[in-house]
Amino acid sequence: MQADWQPTCSIELLHLRAQILAEIRSFFLTRAVLEVETPLLSYSSGTDPQLDFFTTDYCSYPLQQTLYLQTSPEFAMKRLLAAGSGCIYQICKAFRNGESGRNHNPEFTMLEWYRVGFTLTQLMDEIAELIALLFKERASLNATQRINYQDLFFKYTGLDALLFNYDDYCAFALKSQSLDAIELCKTDHNAWLDFIFSHHIQPSLGKNALCMVYGYPACQSSLARINKDNSKVTDRVEIFINGIELGNGYYELTDAQEQNQRFDEEILVRQQNSRPVIVKNTHLIAALDAGLPECSGMAIGLDRLLMVLTSNKHIDDVIPFSLARS
């Protein structure tokens, strides 16, 4: 029986984590991608309708201000890109309130990088190279798979992911014994996609292989750019190994006006779902206004990467102290 003062992961894992961090840094050093640090605390946070944040109070009498712990370093890093930093990467902590489970700890380690001038396809090549490097001599991986979201969705469900037909979606829920979906998702296409993908598709993705899913439906675009040839899809990629979601990448949206509009829409959705109010990050809008270079960016959860590298089934097995022991 372990005592509460003891780490939840093994000492070997501390060594592995240190090696992985060193290899990632060397990978980007040889590619002339600059390591940066940005603040974990900010006066605003992302407006993502599905994320809850931590807040804290800055007290310097008479000034008292609420500050947010970042849910990702995305906004600050884009401001550096707009200021002319060139390609950058960062390894940092990110915080998401209420997320706790086998694959989630509310505080986790993230690798995020941006490549100026890269298309999404070029970014995907680089992701595959990085993953191959980190797995080399540690665990065997089958050939990398690249699958279009719409094809993938059709393969597993027979449904069109880009065209929401309520009756067809309900029929699938009946057939797959997911009656809960009908009540939970109602006529919200986004919720249906999340439900079906997480219950019926994701667990089968990337059997001992890196699986990259690209071409997400436009309604799930977040901060990605809408595809220039097909306005129904967005230039976004998600990567999976053994059914675990490891990261998310975009061909980044550079249009300040569209970004501003998406913020407003997300804030509205947050209000409708009675989630905490948030002020939008005007610094990011101003940076996009000044000009964000054409770029692609990727974020990978390093704790989950360590999980799949070591075949551990719980995030607590790869971090020294989970929230319960913090």
The footprint of other proteins (CB under 8 A) covers: 48, 50, 98-104, 178, 180-181, 184, 190-191, 193-195, 197-199, 202, 220, 222, 238, 245, 247-248
Q: Are the C-beta atoms of residues 37 and 14 closer than 8 Å to each other?
A: no
Nearer to other proteins, 116 or 303 (CB): 303
DSSP secondary structure letters along 147-177: EEHHHHHHHHHS--SSS--HHHHHHHHHHTT
Nearer to other proteins, 52 or 168 (CB): 52
The least distance separating other proteins from the CB of residue 50, rounded to whole angstroms, comes to 6
Q: What is the DSSP letter of 273?
A: T
Q: Are the C-beta atoms of residues 131 and 139 closer than 8 Å to each other?
A: no
CA distance 56 to 40: 11
The least distance separating other proteins from the CB of residue 80, rounded to whole angstroms, comes to 22
Those residues with Cβ within 8 angstroms of residue 169's Cβ, 6 or more apart along the chain or in another chain = 159, 181, 185, 192, 196
Tokens of 317: 């097995």
Q: What is the DSSP letter of 201?
A: I
CA distance 228 to 235: 9
Nearer to other proteins, 201 or 295 (CB): 201
Nearer to other proteins, 114 or 250 (CB): 250
Give residue for tokens 């992961």.
Answer: 9
Nearer to other proteins, 40 or 184 (CB): 184
The least distance separating other proteins from the CB of residue 259, rounded to whole angstroms, comes to 16
Q: Are the C-beta atoms of residues 74 and 299 closer than 8 Å to each other?
A: yes
The least distance separating other proteins from the CB of residue 164, rounded to whole angstroms, comes to 15
The least distance separating other proteins from the CB of residue 194, rounded to whole angstroms, comes to 4
Residue 152, judged by CB atoms within 10 A of its CB (0-12, 13-18, 19+), counts as buried
The least distance separating other proteins from the CB of residue 112, rounded to whole angstroms, comes to 12
Nearer to other proteins, 45 or 220 (CB): 220
The least distance separating other proteins from the CB of residue 246, rounded to whole angstroms, comes to 9
Nearer to other proteins, 34 or 219 (CB): 219
The angle at the Cα of 65, spanning 274 to 257, to the nearest 5 degrees, equals 60
Tokens of 216: 């997400």
Tokens of 60: 């310097």
Nearer to other proteins, 121 or 198 (CB): 198
Tokens of 285: 């809008």
The least distance separating other proteins from the CB of residue 228, rounded to whole angstroms, comes to 21
SS3 266: helix
